[in-house]
Chains A and B, each alone.
Chain A
Amino acid sequence: MSFSPRISRRLALTALGAGATYALAVQTPRARAAEGRPKYFIGIYMPHGVARELWVPKPGFEIAYPDSSLAPFADAATYGQSFREQILTVEGLDLTAGMAASTSGHDGSRVLLTGSGGNGRNASLDQFLAVEQGLGQGLPLSSLVLGVGRPDPALGFCISYAQGGSALPKIIDPAQTFQQAFAQWVVGSDPAALAKAATERKQGKSLIDYWRVELAALRARAPASERDKLDQHATALRDLEQRLEGELGACTPPHAPDPATFPLVQAYQGGEPYFDTVTDLQVDLLVQALACGVTRVATLFLNDLSRTHVDPALPDDVHIDVAHRYESAGRDGQGGVPATWQALARQNRYTYSKIARLLQRLAERQLLQDTALVALSDMGDPARHSSRQVPALLAGGWGGRLKGGRHIDLGEHGTPNNRLLVSIQQAFGVESEAFGQAADPAIVTGALDLA
């Protein structure tokens, strides 16, 4: 098995030309990284909000206290090192643009990376960076959109949205993740196989050229209302071209995952016992895709622990019997039911353990410092299905821009999550003070002070 250690120069030039219709606010990704900016973006959805009582760090950013949901990040024995200094927690964010458009509760994941409600037409931050800002240009995949349990792009089950506002489907099968990210390049050194791959690349390019002409003919007849749809199709063609022409960077390629270890992958169709395995594989493949130069942008939609039996201490139905039963003490710390905090914190701790594994893998590949990771939930208090006070975990080095080991409390009055998205895009060099869509410009404008 051999891999080229370089990115195709010709492809890089082609991609720049293809992206010329967009206003590129930044230089090439390689140039941005050289300027001390993050090179990789990872967006993660976590279910069920958090038990605030066991999520907020104690003074001194103590996160290893009993029942703390953030404890995995201080668990050096399990994850190779403590990531306490590589994470920053933010509380006080509201999904304001979503609430203004009646996109909240279980639909709130729509808002997390878009900063807009169900009627929004802008791309989510990951796709904005990958496609519109060129972070994914010149690579085999402009982005990887992964999930666990449900592949369908239904409202409430997606965080990645294309320009135009359509939800992107997720890959939930690790075998498919491998197939999409690596299999094409695992050709080997057999001359016949290499020749076949070369023919496939050449013919694939001819097919793409043909489809582009046909798409342009269709576009010429289509009304303006259909342009977003056709633009997305054109983006898909460009991605396919990149996949055909791109080459892996220098890396140790992964082995194909063994499907026997996850015979079923769909929620409610028998996949639950394998979600833990699937999540680990998706995490590992994601990091390997970054390390091998397959992509620089990824999202991961995590599932809950319902019927997985991973944690025997939790009820079978985590959604109803944990999330719905949570009784918070609120910000004033009065009342609430501690047992319900502990149950929800167990779910949260499981989710964070997977993110800790992701940080561990990034660190092993020397990618952590250059990664900007954000993990968000669609709810603050899940029993109320509240889109207020949603938790945010920022992690990675952000190219040296993120100072971790801290907790930022934005207060109880609610700061639009758009501010966080603005901060992230600015970290990547996008010189804009706004992200998302809302009738009130104040919702989408302004950045967080993360200093």
Chain B
Amino acid sequence: MNRAPIALGALLAFACGSASEDTHAPPAAQTLLAPALRRLSVAELELAAGNVLGAPIALRDSLPPDARQADFSRNIAQSVDSLTLRQLYDATRRASESATLPTPSCAALALPNDENCKTELISALATLAFRRAPSREELARLHPLFDEGAENGTFRDGAALVLRALLASPQLLYEASLGEGATQQGAVPLGQNELASALSFLISGAPPDDALLSAAAASQLTNGTERYAQAVRLLSRAETMAQFQRFVEEWLGLVQLPQLAKSNTVAADFGPLSRALQVETRSFVADVMAAQAGSLQALFAGGYSFVPDEVAPLYGIQPVPAGTRVSLREFGRVGILQHGSFLSVFAHEAESAPVLRGKAVLTRVLCRKIPAPQELGIDLMFPAPDPNATTRSRFERHAVDPQCKSCHAQLDPVGFTFENFDAVGRRRSTDAGLPVDTRGSITLNGSSLEFKDSAELSQAIAESEELRNCAARQVVRFASGRVDERAETAFVAEVATLPFTWRASLLGLFLSYVKSDGFAWRVSP
């Protein structure tokens, strides 16, 4: 896997003029997000709690999985339910018993009545937990807990109870984007500490570090250029690459990979294969981020990948040393849509799924709205198996059924282009003993285009404005934790003014969003 950090690369030349100018005038309120509290995802909670403990803490095996919205684990629908709180209570109790107190140095030898050390310790821990300097009142509420813990015990026992209080504190569990200060023309700016947390969790999936908190303390984060500089600085953090990999996997639905089952007829043991497919996609995304600043062209039509040994037979290539960049264009795999991960997720257990694949491309990659059959009052019927017919011919009845036709006239010609890949993404030339037909079509930017297969389709999508606009929307969804049409539309309009290399790269889109007014302001409630 590529372990290089994310670099600005081609974006660097345009950095100075890359986003909206910093102004002190409030943005138009009607394009802004509503204030919200976002409960941290489990992955974020691990990093936030670990930051307080000064040591890693594994919560993903203890806490219930994230409730996803549009597959994004970062979302404002997540809540603190009874089971989550009980599990968190138990997990943090165990952690506080075993934690080495991170700060301050006096704690190691202090007696329970060492007031100075107690005060210093509580303040240090609360700052880490709240991701900001705690108020005097907040600190005062923690002191009795220390005293209770230390009663008939040690200094460390007092600190342990404070740790438990902080690790499940609402101030730690939620990222608040409520706005602070005076409302201006219906808009309210986020506070400095709110900006620091929002920026850090978005870019690196982790709580803000000292440098970011210092910038907040100096009120520097009102300035979009400073936010941009801080975000660029965070690109070198180890967690940041995982965050971009998470974004791509959630955007394209690849997070469903571990929850797939496949028939023995297509994969003798899908478990190891699915893990290898995940490794391939993460390696590829890491390379696209590190070497090409998250170029959308490279992501969807780069023509190469990093193929683990377990995947090589699936792709019809010889195994190569780990980390070797392999050209796959000649094998009909030009980008992430021809990865076994994508092709497996959008397939059934034993056969390909042209409707699922077509829908994934249109709704996830291009952000088009396709109603579900249920929304139209249509019963969802699975075509009957027919050992003598190709999948394509079984599904082509959609094109003649008047109920189905309007949507499937869009879906199926896209999905059929992947018919040379089976339920796990293995390349095939026949289906049910008959030659596969991968011809298809799509309307892009007002033009009807025809393709011989999904490789050509991917090439056209990779170069399309529709993909770039959809990626911009997905960045807003990921960042804001919700689907908000007005905020998305505003950002799409904003990035349209950026240099091409910026709006055609994930890194450019993320950095532009961090710098934008939409990131830093909320509509007044």
- For B374-407 the 0/1 string (1 means CB < 8 A from A) is 1101011110100000000000000000000000
Among B34, B141, B178, B374, residue most surrounded by chain A Cβ atoms (within 10 Å): B374
Complex Cα–Cα for A99 and B144 (A):
53
Q: Which of B69-122 contact A (CB under 8 A)?
A: 77-86, 89-90, 93
Pick the residue among A204, A218, A324 that contacts B170 (CB under 8 A): A218
Interface residues on B, range: 35 or more
Pick the residue among A202, A229, A232, A386 that contacts B379 (CB under 8 A): A386
The closest CB in chain B to the CB of A237 belongs to B85
Q: Do residues A169 and B37 form an inter-chain contact, with CB atoms below 8 A? A: no
A57-65, A267-275, A437-445: which lies at the interface = A267-275
Q: Do residues A229 and B79 form an inter-chain contact, with CB atoms below 8 A? A: yes
Knowing A102-B375, A222-B37, A225-B36, say if A151 contacts B65 (CB, 8 Å).
Answer: yes
Complex Cα–Cα for A222 and B37 (A):
8
Q: Do residues A152 and B65 form an inter-chain contact, with CB atoms below 8 A? A: yes
Complex Cα–Cα for A154 and B255 (A):
13
Complex Cα–Cα for A384 and B380 (A):
5
Complex Cα–Cα for A169 and B176 (A):
23
Q: A10: CB under 8 A from chain B?
A: no
Q: How many A-B residue pairs have CB under 8 A?
A: 172
* Contact partners of B165 in chain A: CB under 8 A: 207, 210-211
Q: Which of A415-450 contact B (CB under 8 A)?
A: none
* Contact partners of B170 in chain A: CB under 8 A: 211, 214-215, 218, 233
Q: Do residues A240 and B85 form an inter-chain contact, with CB atoms below 8 A? A: yes
* Contact partners of B66 in chain A: CB under 8 A: 152
Complex Cα–Cα for A213 and B66 (A):
26
Pick the residue among A168, A203, A206, A316 that contacts B263 (CB under 8 A): A316
Q: A307: CB under 8 A from chain B?
A: yes
Knowing A166-B77, A239-B86, A386-B379, say if A210 contacts B64 (CB, 8 Å).
Answer: no
Q: B236: CB under 8 A from chain A?
A: no
Shortest Cβ distance from A315 into chain B, in angstroms? 10
Q: Do residues B84 and A236 form an inter-chain contact, with CB atoms below 8 A? A: yes
Complex Cα–Cα for A215 and B174 (A):
10
Q: A385: CB under 8 A from chain B?
A: yes
Q: Do residues A214 and B79 form an inter-chain contact, with CB atoms below 8 A? A: no
Q: Do residues B85 and A239 form an inter-chain contact, with CB atoms below 8 A? A: yes
Q: Do residues A232 and B79 form an inter-chain contact, with CB atoms below 8 A? A: yes
Pick the residue among B83, B93, B264, B372 that contacts A169 (CB under 8 A): B83
Q: A162: CB under 8 A from chain B?
A: yes
Q: B235: CB under 8 A from chain A?
A: no
Q: A26: CB under 8 A from chain B?
A: no
* Contact partners of A232 in chain B: CB under 8 A: 79-81
Q: Do residues B35 and A154 form an inter-chain contact, with CB atoms below 8 A? A: no
Q: Do residues A99 and B349 form an inter-chain contact, with CB atoms below 8 A? A: no
The closest CB in chain A to the CB of B65 belongs to A152
Pick the residue among B145, B174, B379 that contacts A385 (CB under 8 A): B379
Q: A383: CB under 8 A from chain B?
A: yes
Q: B169: CB under 8 A from chain A?
A: yes
Complex Cα–Cα for A170 and B65 (A):
10
Shortest Cβ distance from A434 into chain B, in angstroms? 24
Knowing A102-B372, A207-B165, say if A226 contacts B36 (CB, 8 Å).
Answer: yes
The closest CB in chain A to the CB of B64 belongs to A169
* Contact partners of A226 in chain B: CB under 8 A: 35-37
Complex Cα–Cα for A202 and B148 (A):
9
Complex Cα–Cα for A289 and B261 (A):
33
* Contact partners of B82 in chain A: CB under 8 A: 141-143, 168, 235-236, 239-240
Q: B271: CB under 8 A from chain A?
A: yes
Q: Do residues B374 and A233 form an inter-chain contact, with CB atoms below 8 A? A: no
Pick the residue among A168, A270, A387 that contacts B81 (CB under 8 A): A168
Q: Do residues A320 and B349 form an inter-chain contact, with CB atoms below 8 A? A: yes
Q: Which of A310-327 contact B (CB under 8 A)?
A: 316-317, 320, 324-325
Q: Do residues A206 and B145 form an inter-chain contact, with CB atoms below 8 A? A: yes
Shortest Cβ distance from A141 into chain B, in angstroms? 8
Q: Do residues A384 and B36 form an inter-chain contact, with CB atoms below 8 A? A: no
Q: B350: CB under 8 A from chain A?
A: yes
Q: Do residues B83 and A267 form an inter-chain contact, with CB atoms below 8 A? A: no
Q: Which of B130-181 contact A (CB under 8 A)?
A: 138, 141-142, 144-145, 148-149, 161, 164-165, 168-171, 174, 176, 178
- Interfacial residues, chain A to chain B (CB-CB below 8 A): 99, 102-105, 107, 141-143, 145, 150-154, 162, 164, 166-171, 179-180, 200, 202-204, 206-207, 210-211, 213-215, 218, 221-226, 229-230, 232-233, 235-237, 239-240, 243, 267-270, 306-307, 316-317, 320, 324-325, 381, 383-387
- Interfacial residues, chain B to chain A (CB-CB below 8 A): 34-37, 39, 64-68, 77-86, 89-90, 93, 138, 141-142, 144-145, 148-149, 161, 164-165, 168-171, 174, 176, 178, 258-261, 263-264, 271, 348-350, 371-375, 377, 379-382, 384, 525
22 contacts between A and B (CB under 8 A): A99-B374, A102-B374, A143-B82, A151-B65, A152-B65, A153-B65, A169-B84, A171-B83, A203-B148, A210-B145, A213-B141, A223-B34, A223-B178, A225-B525, A229-B37, A229-B39, A229-B79, A236-B81, A236-B82, A240-B86, A240-B89, A387-B374
Sample of 16 more A-B contacts, CB < 8 Å, known A102-B372, A200-B93, A317-B350: A151-B64, A154-B67, A169-B67, A170-B64, A206-B145, A207-B145, A214-B170, A218-B174, A229-B39, A237-B85, A316-B263, A316-B264, A317-B261, A324-B382, A325-B384, A384-B379
